[in-house]
Chains A and B, each alone.
Chain A
């Protein structure tokens, strides 16, 4: 009979590391979280956040628990099971004029994952993180109880769970308000930026007038072109500007198999980056775009992680404090290029205020994210050096992306960790809930 534990391979989106473990999968989350040590949604965190701490510790797969449990069409308040994907929410609600208050750069995430990673998006500079909007959570905590937490009920647990990487309890249900949108289409303006200073200045000035901004950078460009790229500003289109048709939801084209290693080389990445920059002929382009192409450009290529082949890849994302001379971001990019790092496009975004989540990633400053293939020796050294710089600049990294950070580095850049740990231990004395990442970074037992 199904709904029994089964053995399977687990990996994050970066396909590194890959581990064997036990999965529990059912529509009934309350049932499978009884024995599980971790919940896992669509596995879109890049590193080892959603991987079991040990081969004999079962992981609850939440994606079958995808029901919408309550919706108030007046206020937009929505309650969902934790496994529902953002893609589902978009399909159901966008054409009715509703959108999530905060959306990350992929729609293949679950509501539970959005809380656990406290995701942010192109509107972070004005709207903050997803967790800031969550009204309540239904959690199964380590001692087996199922309870509701919110600002009024168990507020400490609530704040520790937002951005808590699933380590404080299994998220069963999420209640949050959807937001009214004037149309499901996006008015987008994109502009070429010649270098890092122009890019950051562009982000900052756009932040004052635009609800959504992001920059794509060519991080192979050096010298005076360091940090050149495309700045993208967007807002929801007004009904009279846009088509009155609902956007069609296209199926992604899947990458069929892991590409061989030579496909991704310095030459091919360089070419890609140059073309991406050069094909933006105009100084500024303005147009109405499909919401998917604005929010989720990479989702159009399903399983794009296979481009990196069997070796897998990692994403490095950090946030660095603001500085008038953009010194931190420049030193970061300089270090990355001089250390021989290479990446497809990297993403730059100015972050707004720190959120409610105790371990939430964003803080005021400049966030930079880049992907690179895993190399047996070089990757660890590169991440170590980047982390040392991030510590020196007073920044921090995003756990949802991480697979390589050393525990002492993480603990140095996270002064909030002690408080979060105290709350976590209060609810889980035996340390039942853990992940491969918490073993690596927080010293949890295997």
Chain B
């Protein structure tokens, strides 16, 4: 499999990219910091990704970087097949409530710019005759919840967008995989109080990879979060208002 990976330097992206490397997938990395990309590329090579793993700069806050980065990836990989997006931004709700500038950054990163990136990827994948677009959304978008109102709103929008893409373009060969991770212990969530059933990136990676291989349109990870969200989705409004989940 040939994979363009936006966000492989950290967290769940790092774990997923490693799982791909271990089975020998060809990887091309997109990210903000060239030094971090370089180190991650070496790590993936040692773990089994065909050498060399190349990379190009792309910044979620700079939509103009998306097109050229994807073109370079397509050139280096000799065509696009799978595009994975794990990049994103998480800021605590309390912090966002007093900082409109930060709110704007979060909404642009997690919604507007992620969609703009997906659009660039979609056009190129369709032109190449199809492929897979796998994007990390979140269970935070399933219900309006007190600790993740703004982040959840952005992820809700992202999930709907990915669902729409899948409905419209699957017949033309573009499979969309929307990943909805629950609480996973990563640098992004360090310092937040982990709820019961907090998972590890290594639990998420194999499940997501299977979803990519099969073209599953929606996947919760770790597994248990599918069950948890099923219950949460059906909780009456009056209950949601009282709990702090």
Query: What sequence of 0s and 1s flags, for each residue 51-76 of chain A, a beta carbon within 8 Å of any chain B beta carbon?
Result: 00000000001001001111100000
- The residue in chain B whose Cβ has the minimal distance to the Cβ of A73 is B46
Are A2 and B188 neighbours in the complex by a CB distance under 8 Å?
yes
Query: What sequence of 0s and 1s flags, for each residue 163-188 of chain B, a beta carbon within 8 Å of any chain A beta carbon?
Result: 00000000000000000000000111
Tell me whether B128 is interfacial, beta carbon within 8 Å. Answer: no
Are A69 and B36 neighbours in the complex by a CB distance under 8 Å?
no
Q: Which of A10-30 contact B (CB under 8 A)?
A: 23, 25-28
Tell me whether A265 is interfacial, beta carbon within 8 Å. Answer: no
Tell me whether B146 is interfacial, beta carbon within 8 Å. Answer: no
Give the size range of B's interface with the partner. Answer: 20 to 34
**Which of B39, B90, B187 is close to A26, meaning CB atoms less than 8 Å apart?**
B187
Contacts of B40 in A (CB 8 A): 67
Tell me whether A429 is interfacial, beta carbon within 8 Å. Answer: no
What is the CA–CA distance of A71 and B43 in the complex, to the nearest angstrom? 9
Are A6 and B190 neighbours in the complex by a CB distance under 8 Å?
yes
**Which of B42, B89, B95 is close to A67, meaning CB atoms less than 8 Å apart?**
B42
Number of A-B contacts (CB under 8 A): 53
Tell me whether B9 is interfacial, beta carbon within 8 Å. Answer: yes
A71 to chain B, nearest CB (A): 5
Are B190 and A23 neighbours in the complex by a CB distance under 8 Å?
yes
Tell me whether B189 is interfacial, beta carbon within 8 Å. Answer: yes
What is the CA–CA distance of A65 and B46 in the complex, to the nearest angstrom? 16
Are B9 and A8 neighbours in the complex by a CB distance under 8 Å?
no
Tell me whether B47 is interfacial, beta carbon within 8 Å. Answer: yes
Tell me whether B10 is interfacial, beta carbon within 8 Å. Answer: yes
Tell me whether A338 is interfacial, beta carbon within 8 Å. Answer: no
Q: Which of B174-222 contact A (CB under 8 A)?
A: 186-191
Q: Which of B1-33 contact A (CB under 8 A)?
A: 9-10, 14
Tell me whether B102 is interfacial, beta carbon within 8 Å. Answer: yes
Tell me whether B126 is interfacial, beta carbon within 8 Å. Answer: no
Tell me whether A267 is interfacial, beta carbon within 8 Å. Answer: no
**Which of A3, A7, A23, A68 is close to B43, meaning CB atoms less than 8 Å apart?**
A68
Are A68 and B42 neighbours in the complex by a CB distance under 8 Å?
yes
Are B191 and A71 neighbours in the complex by a CB distance under 8 Å?
no
Are A92 and B47 neighbours in the complex by a CB distance under 8 Å?
yes
What is the CA–CA distance of A140 and B234 in the complex, to the nearest angstrom? 52
Contacts of B189 in A (CB 8 A): 2
Tell me whether A4 is interfacial, beta carbon within 8 Å. Answer: yes
Are A68 and B91 neighbours in the complex by a CB distance under 8 Å?
no
Are A27 and B36 neighbours in the complex by a CB distance under 8 Å?
yes
What is the CA–CA distance of A240 and B234 in the complex, to the nearest angstrom? 58
Tell me whether A275 is interfacial, beta carbon within 8 Å. Answer: no
Are B39 and A69 neighbours in the complex by a CB distance under 8 Å?
yes
Are A70 and B188 neighbours in the complex by a CB distance under 8 Å?
no
- The residue in chain A whose Cβ has the minimal distance to the Cβ of B191 is A6
What is the CA–CA distance of A70 and B40 in the complex, to the nearest angstrom? 11
- The residue in chain B whose Cβ has the minimal distance to the Cβ of A22 is B191
A173 to chain B, nearest CB (A): 10
B62 to chain A, nearest CB (A): 18
Are A4 and B191 neighbours in the complex by a CB distance under 8 Å?
yes
Are A8 and B191 neighbours in the complex by a CB distance under 8 Å?
yes
Are A64 and B47 neighbours in the complex by a CB distance under 8 Å?
no
What is the CA–CA distance of A3 and B33 in the complex, to the nearest angstrom? 16
Task: Pick the most buried of A2, A26, A27: most chain B CB atoms within 10 A of its CB.
Answer: A2
Contacts of A8 in B (CB 8 A): 191
Are B187 and A70 neighbours in the complex by a CB distance under 8 Å?
no
What is the CA–CA distance of A410 and B191 in the complex, to the nearest angstrom? 36
Are A1 and B91 neighbours in the complex by a CB distance under 8 Å?
yes
Are B46 and A27 neighbours in the complex by a CB distance under 8 Å?
no
Contacts of A81 in B (CB 8 A): 39
Are B89 and A27 neighbours in the complex by a CB distance under 8 Å?
no
B11 to chain A, nearest CB (A): 8
What is the CA–CA distance of A64 and B42 in the complex, to the nearest angstrom? 16
Are B188 and A92 neighbours in the complex by a CB distance under 8 Å?
no
Q: Could you list 13 A-B pairs, sorted by A, with CB under 8 Å?
A: A1-B89, A1-B91, A2-B90, A2-B187, A3-B187, A25-B187, A27-B36, A27-B187, A61-B190, A64-B186, A64-B187, A69-B39, A70-B46
A positions within 8 Å CB-CB of B: 1-4, 6-8, 23, 25-28, 61, 64, 67-71, 81, 92
Additional A-B contacts beyond A1-B91, A67-B43 (10; CB < 8 A): A1-B95, A2-B188, A4-B191, A27-B36, A67-B40, A68-B42, A68-B43, A71-B46, A81-B39, A92-B47
Which 9 pairs from chain A and chain B are nearest by CB? A6-B191, A67-B43, A25-B190, A68-B46, A71-B46, A68-B43, A2-B188, A64-B187, A1-B91
B positions within 8 Å CB-CB of A: 9-10, 14, 36, 39-40, 42-43, 46-47, 89-91, 95, 102, 186-191
